[in-house]
Structure 1
């Protein structure tokens, strides 16, 4: 059983899988209360569904890519759920703030978006995504070293780009080409 806020179909607008048609499974709850969170739904109403009930909702869409998001997915032990989806032919990606990577083991792809830049974890993920505003302490990002892809994502408004932060992030990536820009493409295109 998993606490589900929403299951919806869209394109991935962030990170290495930008542009891929995906079924998003939004889970309830988060261990943080970020002031810039652009997804308040994870705090609202939810349904507790079985794996089979969730699969029935996912199967309505043609994509074989599933993104488990939140809130914070790693609050839950999702290993059995991830394996269940994979046995039904799905590629499973998870977006996490890194609360508990062990709960996500077995996922095909893990995007880690750390919020505490003083304690960035080194393992358990495939890519990093830093949400950056003009006022962010970017020296902490510059001091972090990894061989994994690092995406700089402008801190945007809920449904639209923040052009000042976008410009800042473009300049940051141009000055530090070890980073990649991730702009939340879905917000530029006006899709969910």
Structure 2
């Protein structure tokens, strides 16, 4: 269908990550992803879903009466039509963020969108898929995120941050893989290295556990 996207779910919850953590947010989770990160918590979005028109999606979002919207996946940029949906959401006055793996170019994303760029670490198994040119497109309204599996991932990310001075491009976030890397360990490493990052934990999983729709 023209003017349509494959959607896994649309729901309202508290934002569990990024600098928008805690804000009531409508999540639009698109179906499909070209990556297979070892720690992925949304594998159910790889396939299936339902084709929905832009108008159906917009009507569903409006029904929640919430200002903040997050377009996520899967990998939302894998569906080309997502650019038009994001333009429509921005035109409607929503505060919009996009969660993307970093494997696909963000160059054509509407500049009104806050782009959350996930830099894949060695522990993800998908480092080779990174589209490094994306760093050139970032602004201060965007964010860089590292999801860390272990100490090796942390040291790799730390060295990259220092080498590329990533904090000068956009705010940098570090998150431990749920129930794999103890959050206290990551906190200690960040403090020890005086790293210019924001450490985060996944608030939604603390509140409701690891399940869809939260």
- Confirm whether residue 142 of structure 1 aligns to residue 158 of structure 2: yes
Cα shift readout 1:82-137 (whole Å, capped 9, x = no counterpart):
11112222111100012221342334201011215575542334111100122443
- Confirm whether residue 18 of structure 1 aligns to residue 46 of structure 2: no
Kindly report which structure 2 residues correspond to 1:128-167, keeping only aligned pairs within 5 A, or say none: 128-144=144-160, 145-146=165-166, 147=168, 148-156=170-178, 162=179, 164-167=181-184
Where 2:85 maps in the other structure, the secondary structure is helix
- Confirm whether residue 6 of structure 1 aligns to residue 9 of structure 2: yes
Separation (CA, whole Å) in 2 of partners of 1:12 and 1:76: 23
Structure-2 change in CA distance of 1:24 and 1:168 (3 Å): same
Q: Which has the higher helix share?
A: 2
Asked if structure 2 preserves the Cα contact closer than 8 Å seen for 1:133 and 1:165, the reply is no
TM-score where L is the length of structure 2:
0.80
Structure 1 gaps, min length 5: 157-161
Q: Which of 20, 28, 32 lines up with 2:31 in the alignment?
A: 28
Separation (CA, whole Å) in 1 of partners of 2:119 and 2:74: 13
| Alpha-carbon shift at residue 155 of structure 1 (Å) | 0.2
Where 1:59 maps in the other structure, the secondary structure is helix
- Confirm whether residue 37 of structure 1 aligns to residue 40 of structure 2: yes
Separation (CA, whole Å) in 2 of partners of 1:12 and 1:40: 19
Counterpart residue number, 1:85: 89
